[in-house]
Structure formats: structure tokens, C-alpha cells
Amino acid sequence: MSWALQLVLAIAIFVGGMAAGIKYHVGVVAQRDLAAARLVESDKIQQRKFSDVASGKHAGALSKLSNQLGAAREKIASLSGRECLDFSTAGVLNAIGEQPGGAAAGQPAGAPKDAPAVGDLRYSTDRDVASFIAACRSQYGEVSSQLNQILDIEDRRHPPAPP
């Protein structure tokens, strides 16, 4: 065999080997990408299932809270209606949690609120207080349940790093 023919054969074998290697490498990369896509899809399905379960738990908690609030309102209706908080005390309690806002024109920012003009509403009854407390506890339970479900979902999405 001539040197030229040997060189052509060597180049052909080399090119064939390179082509086979590239084909193999592309196949391995494609398999890895496909496996990663399957894992991502599987994770999405698991997250949806977990979120559905969390939503169901939250709906159950809301139903329970609604039933408890209804029972509390029945008991509240049987209270005497006696005076228990004067207007200034009720005003202090009602002011807790208010968002600060701008004062009306011509009024200082810290001006106290006047007593209500309707009839003899210068006090709160035990019914009023119990109703407000029941509503607050119910809303607290609702928000607490929702927050716990959100935190569970986030913990599942982003598990804490092992120590």
C-alpha cells in the first residue's frame, strides 16, 4: 500500500471515530437532559399534589373555624348585654392595629376621636366584646392555618440543607 492510501485510510478511520464519539456524546447529553426534564415534571406533579392536600387541610380548618364561630355567636346571643367597657377603653382597643394615615385638614395628627353621635353608644356591652373577640380569634385561626400551609409548601419546595 502506498503512503497516500494509508494516509487516506487513517484519516477516514479518524473521522469515523470522531463522528461516532460525537454521536455518542450527543446521545448521552440528550439522555441526561431528558432525565432532568422528567425529574422536573415529576417534582411539579408532586408539588401540585402536596398543594392540593394543603388546600384541603386549609379548607377543613376554615370549615371548623366557621362552625366554632357559629357556635360562639349562638352563645354570645344569650349574654346579658350589660355594659362592660366605656367609650374611652373601647376607643383604645379599637385604635390598636390601625394604619397611620394623614390627618384631615385643620386637625392635628394626634387628635382624639370624638364619641359616636348615635344615641347612647358610650360603652360596649359584653355581647359586643365577646363578638369582637370571637371574630378576631376566628380570623387569627384562618390566617394561622393559611400561613402554616404556605410554610409547609415552601419547606417542601426548598428543603433545609442537612447539617
The per-residue pLDDT for range 19-28, each reduced to its tens digit, is: 998 989 888 8
- The Cα 124–Cα 118 span in angstroms is 13
Query: What does the pLDDT look like over 26-42, one tens digit per residue?
Result: 888 999 999 999 998 99
Continuous segment of H or E residues that includes residue 45: helix 3-77
Q: Return mean pLDDT, the chain.
A: 81
- The Cα 47–Cα 158 span in angstroms is 11
Query: What does the pLDDT look like over 58-111, one tens digit per residue?
Result: 888 888 988 888 888 888 888 888 888 888 887 787 777 776 655 555 555 554
Assign 87 to helix, strand or coil. Answer: helix
